[in-house]
Amino acid sequence: MARSHFLIVGLGNITHPMTRHSIGHLLIDVLTTRLGIPLASERGGYAATTDLKLEQNTVTLTFFKPRALMNISGRPTVQMLRRTAVNPANMVVIHDSVDHKPCVLSPKFGGSAGGHNGVRDIISALGNNQDFHRLRLGVGRDGELADYVLGPLSTHERTYWGVTGPGSELVWRELTRIIQKSLKT
């Protein structure tokens, strides 16, 4: 039986670390730290791969942070998807959401980009395939949108989504739920 492989992608802007817009990058750093696997420079970004035992199944997880800016992250994401031979339905994209209150996790499968340019670029690079998982991390909205999302995460948000914070535990539980559900279908 072939081992299942899942690609977990965190969206962000390398040039703007620890901002609301780069919260997906932060979560990739947090998850790989929790698992004790270092990210390495790869073509198109930074990646780490590990095998994980979930119940009676062993799955392969590849974590990926595209090096490209958020709005043009589709091509490197799809290239990594192809290199890992992952079906888009086994991809989870972690990104900021101004439509959700800060420190809220909102999972979604498929559907439109909901105004998120990074997700829109991934959908386009997949040939308009929307059938992948998203973990939308709420950052809220305040004032001029571009300035707000490129502003720094608050101390509370950094702690909440950090390695020992409750937000990273929520993300980990949702990832394992998605994987376990996929293994049953």
Residues spanned by the domain of 10 = 5-178
pLDDT at residue number 85: 76
Please indicate whether residue 21 is annotated as part of the active site: yes
Q: Pick the catalytic residue: 5, 16, 21, 95? A: 21
Domain contains 184: no
**CA pair distance 182, 131, nearest whole angstrom:** 13
| Type of residue numbered 124 | S
H runs (alpha helix) in 23-69: 23-35
Domain contains 135: yes
CATH of the domain at 74: 3.40.50.1470
Per the listing, tokens 């790869």 go with: 42
pLDDT at residue number 2: 59
Domain count, the chain: 1
pLDDT at residue number 163: 95
Stronger pLDDT, 1 or 46, i.e. the higher one: 46
List for the chain the helix, strand, coil content (%; round to 5): 40, 25, 35
- pLDDT higher than 50, residue 167: yes
pLDDT at residue number 62: 97
**CA pair distance 114, 157, nearest whole angstrom:** 23
Give this prediction's pTM. 0.95
Largest CA distance in the chain: 52
- Kindly state the average pLDDT of the residues 6-34: 96
Structure tokens at 13: 């802007």
